[in-house]
A and B are shown apart, each in its own frame.
Chain A
Amino acid sequence: GAVVSQHPSWVICKSGTSVKIECRSLDFQATTMFWYRQFPKQSLMLMATSNEGSKATYEQGVEKDKFLINHASLTLSTLTVTSAHPEDSSFYICSASFVQGLYEQYFGPGTRLTVT
């Protein structure tokens, strides 16, 4: 149980375009979803936290106008990277938690974004 999926698993886009990444909780209703960014051989960096129906809370230094997060339902959150640049190339990972699961976060498989 507690499976989280992400789509797409990898995406290549041209500089200046926008790309949307979906995160879904498949077998539970996620009260909170988290978006992380991970550079090669580095740790996970939390970008934002979102609760269903509420605006996302962004971490310091993360541009909210560039990384748009929507948590429209209890099973779906989306991250849109707007006007992507090569420096946005990274591994993006979402996670989800639910009340009955206490603090545990269940992670998705990640999305590799390459901006050319």
Chain B
Amino acid sequence: QQQVKQSPQSLIVQKGGIPIINCAYENTAFDYFPWYQQFPGKGPALLIAIRPDVSEKKEGRFTISFNKSAKQFSLHIMDSQPGDSATYFCAASRQGAQKLVFGQGTRLTINP
């Protein structure tokens, strides 16, 4: 019940395309859903996060879509660039616990 399942494991998209990464969770107590971007040999960096009171959040080229009833959320990257090539992790946590439960990660490659 504490798991967050992320798919796909890897994704290759042409420059300008819109990669979509999906995550699903079971624990309905989760109320914070961040996405992290990690480059090789570096720590993760927070990209964007959403709480379940909204169905969508956009920051720059990154958009989170959230479906509370389906217990799913996804990351969309608009106008993707080769510099977006990285590993992306979704995560979830519940109020007060602070502990993040991470998805398995998606290795994204944007071809020029």
Residues in chain A within 8 A of chain B (CB atoms): 4, 6, 32, 34, 41-44, 46, 49, 91, 93, 95, 97, 102-110, 112
Residues of A near B102 (CB, < 8 A) are: 43-44
Asked whether A43 lies within 8 Å of B89 as measured between CB atoms, the reply is yes
Out of B36, B41, B104, name the residue touching A112 (CB < 8 Å).
Answer: B41
Q: Nearest CB to that of A10 among chain B residues? A: B41
Give the A-binding residues of B (Cβ under 8 A). Answer: 32, 34, 36, 41-46, 49, 89, 93, 95, 98-100, 102-105, 107
B44 touches A97 (CB 8 A): no
A-B pair count, CB < 8 Å, reads 51
**A110 to chain B: which residues have CB within 8 Å?**
41-43
Q: Can you name the residue of chain B whose Cβ is closest to the Cβ of A102?
A: B32
If A49-B99, A97-B98, A110-B41 are given as contacts, then 5 extra A-B residue pairs at C-beta distance below 8 Å, sorted by A number, are A43-B89, A103-B34, A104-B49, A107-B44, A109-B42
Q: Can you list 21 A-B pairs, Cβ within 8 angstroms, ordered by A? A: A4-B43, A42-B104, A42-B105, A43-B103, A43-B104, A44-B44, A49-B99, A91-B41, A93-B44, A102-B32, A103-B32, A103-B34, A103-B95, A104-B34, A104-B46, A105-B46, A106-B46, A107-B43, A109-B42, A110-B42, A112-B41
